[in-house]
Structure 1
Amino acid sequence: MRDFRFGFNFRDIPSRAALVDRCRLAEHFGYDVALVPDHLGGPAPFTMMVAAAEATERMRVGTLVLNVPFWNPHLLAREVSTADVLTDGRVELGLGAGHMKWEFDAAGIEWRPFGPRAQMLEETIQELGRLFAGPEYPERTAIRAAGGLTELKPVQRRGFDGSGPPLVVGGTGDRVLRVAARYADTVAYGGVYQIKGEPPGTFRLGNADEAEERVRFVGGLMGERADEVESSVLIQLVAVTGDRRAEAARLAAGPLAFLTAEEILETPFVLLGTHAQIAEQLVERRERFGYSYITVHGVSMEALGPVIELLR
Structure 2
Amino acid sequence: MTDLRTWRDRVRRIADFGYSTLLMPDVPTWQPAVGPTLATAAALTDLRVGSWVYAAALREPWSTAWEAHSLSVLTEGRFEMGIGAGRPGIEVELGQPAVPMAERRTRMRETVAALRTFDGSELHTPVVMAVSGPKSQALALEVADAVTFVLSADDDRAETTKRVRDFAGRGDIELAQHVAAVGDRVAPFMAPPSLDTAALRAADSLVILPDDPAAAAEEIERRRAEIGLTYFVIGADFAETLAPMVAKLAGRQ
Where has structure 1 moved over 6 Å in runs of 4 or more? Answer: none
**1:231, 1:290 within 8 Å by CA — same for their partners in 2?**
yes
Q: Which residue of 1 aligns with 2:223?
A: 285
Q: Name the CA distance, whole Å, in 2 between partners of 1:112 and 1:78.
A: 21
Q: Name the CA distance, whole Å, in 2 between partners of 1:273 and 1:258.
A: 13
TM-score, normalised by the number of residues in structure 1:
0.70
Q: Which residue of 1 aligns with 2:233?
A: 295
Q: Which residue of 2 aligns with 1:53?
A: 42
CA displacement, residues 61-88 of structure 1 (integer Å, 9 cap, x when unaligned): 0001000232222212321232222222
**1:238, 1:300 within 8 Å by CA — same for their partners in 2?**
yes
Deviation, 1:97, is 0.7
Pair 1:104–1:64, CA change in 2 (3 A): same
Q: Which residue of 1 aligns with 2:202?
A: 262
Matched, 1:130 2:117: yes
Q: Name the CA distance, whole Å, in 2 between partners of 1:237 and 1:276.
A: 16
CA displacement, residues 234-268 of structure 1 (integer Å, 9 cap, x when unaligned): 11111289xxxxxxxxxxxx8428947432xx322
CA displacement, residues 4-57 of structure 1 (integer Å, 9 cap, x when unaligned): xxxxxxxxx22221121111111111000000111133221111101111111x
TM-score, normalised by the number of residues in structure 2:
0.86
Q: Name the CA distance, whole Å, in 1 between partners of 2:179 and 2:109.
A: 26
Q: Name the CA distance, whole Å, in 2 between partners of 1:25 and 1:273.
A: 19
**1:68, 1:121 within 8 Å by CA — same for their partners in 2?**
yes
- With CA pairs under 8 Å and 6+ residues apart, which has the higher RCO, 1 or 2? 1
Name which of 208, 214, 228 aligns with 2:157.
208
CA displacement, residues 115-165 of structure 1 (integer Å, 9 cap, x when unaligned): 33223222322233234339xxxxxxxxxxxxxxxxxxxxx623xxxxxx1
**Unpaired runs of at least 5, structure 2:** 186-193
Q: Name the CA distance, whole Å, in 2 between partners of 1:73 and 1:276.
A: 42
- Structure 1 counterpart of 2:24, one-letter code: V
Deviation, 1:109, is 3.0
Name which of 79, 82, 85 aligns with 2:70.
82
* Secondary structure, aligned partner of 1:303: coil
Q: Name the CA distance, whole Å, in 2 between partners of 1:174 and 1:157.
A: 29
**2:56, 2:83 within 8 Å by CA — same for their partners in 1?**
yes
Q: Which residue of 1 aligns with 2:190?
A: none
**1:231, 1:291 within 8 Å by CA — same for their partners in 2?**
yes
Q: Name the CA distance, whole Å, in 1 between partners of 2:27 and 2:96.
A: 13
Q: Which residue of 1 aligns with 2:96?
A: 109
* Secondary structure, aligned partner of 2:13: helix
Q: How does 1:167-182 map to 2 (within 5 A)?
A: 167-182=127-142
Q: Which residue of 2 aligns with 1:19?
A: 7
Q: Name the CA distance, whole Å, in 2 between partners of 1:34 and 1:261.
A: 27
Matched, 1:71 2:59: yes
- Structure 2 counterpart of 1:52, one-letter code: A
Deviation, 1:270, is 0.7
Pair 1:179–1:273, CA change in 2 (3 A): same
Pair 1:288–1:73, CA change in 2 (3 A): same
**Unpaired runs of at least 5, structure 1:** 1-12, 135-155, 159-164, 193-203, 242-253
Compute the RMSD of aligned alpha carbons: 2.4
Q: Percent of aligned positions with the same letter in both sequences?
A: 26
**2:179, 2:208 within 8 Å by CA — same for their partners in 1?**
yes
Name which of 19, 29, 35 aligns with 1:41.
29
Deviation, 1:213, is 2.5
